[in-house]
Amino acid sequence: MKIVAGGDSMVWGSELADSPHGGLNGHSRNTFAALLAGDEYICAGYPGINNYEIATRAKTELVKNKPAGAIISWTWPSRDGVYQSSIVIQDFQLYCQKNNIPYLFTCVDNCLIELLDSQTNWDHWYMFPPGTDLHDTTTPRGFYQWAVENKYSIGADGHPLELAHTHAAELIKEKFSELVIKNL
């Protein structure tokens, strides 16, 4: 069972002990995506990329590695420039549906959510629980928001470290198994 993971530095594992320098030494095996995927993990993520590049890299790996499932962590829409995050995400969702690819989406920040419309299949999303403290996000959150607001250790360049990824994988595991693992 192959799992393709798409995303930015959070999926790549920048600042994690086994990938301390971003793209220089390869991706980490300790990200929440890698922990969920297990042995046949294919990292299509890369630091600093936008949602269009996430979708393109993930599609390339899905074509090469059929049959495969996907876990995609969409990045900040501000990185997209001329691309519209909503179109890119809905196109990738449609691609997975048409090709019978089991998938699960999440994101780094919930600011992306307001850009999506009723065509989005929210049943295939995992959003981290809202915060309970006064200054926390009171709606479902992305991975980065959740990690920062829950005071997980953050690296010097702003990336959540190992414990955040481990706990995130534990939170996502049931939904990932239901949507991806059981359908491969």
Distance in angstroms between the alpha carbons of the first and the last residue of the chain: 7
CA nearest neighbour of 66 among 26, 102, 93, 34 = 102
Strand partners, 103: 70
Q: What is the pLDDT of residue 114?
A: 84
Instruction: Tell me the C-alpha distance between 42 and 163, whole Å.
Output: 21
CA nearest neighbour of 111 among 82, 72, 137 = 137
In this structure, whether the domain defined by 2-183 belongs to CATH 1.10.10.60 is answered with: no
**What string of DSSP letters covers 11-34?**
HHTTTBTTBTTGGGS---S-SHHH
Q: What is the pLDDT of residue 19?
A: 85
Q: Which two tokens stand for residue 34?
A: 């890698």
152: Cβ–Cβ under 8 A, 6 or more apart, which residues?
160, 161, 163, 164, 167
Domain spans of the chain?
2-183
Structure letter (DSSP) for residue 130: P
Please, are residues 7 and 54 in contact by the beta-carbon 8 Å criterion? yes
Q: What is the pLDDT of residue 1?
A: 78
Please, are residues 73 and 108 in contact by the beta-carbon 8 Å criterion? yes
pLDDT for 25 beyond 90: no
Please, are residues 90 and 111 in contact by the beta-carbon 8 Å criterion? no
CA dihedral sign, ordered 162, 168, 174, 176: negative
In angstroms, what CA-CA distances link 117 with 69, 90, 141, 153?
A: 24, 9, 17, 34
pLDDT 10s digits, 44-103: 999 999 999 999 999 999 999 988 999 999 999 999 988 899 999 999 999 999 999 999
Name which residue leads in pLDDT, 118 or 127: 127
pLDDT 10s digits, 151-177: 999 999 999 999 999 999 999 999 999
pLDDT 10s digits, 127-143: 999 998 888 999 999 99
Q: What is the H or E stretch that residue 47 is in?
A: none
**Using 50, 70 and 90 to split pLDDT, how confident is the model at 117?**
confident
Q: What is the pLDDT of residue 95?
A: 97
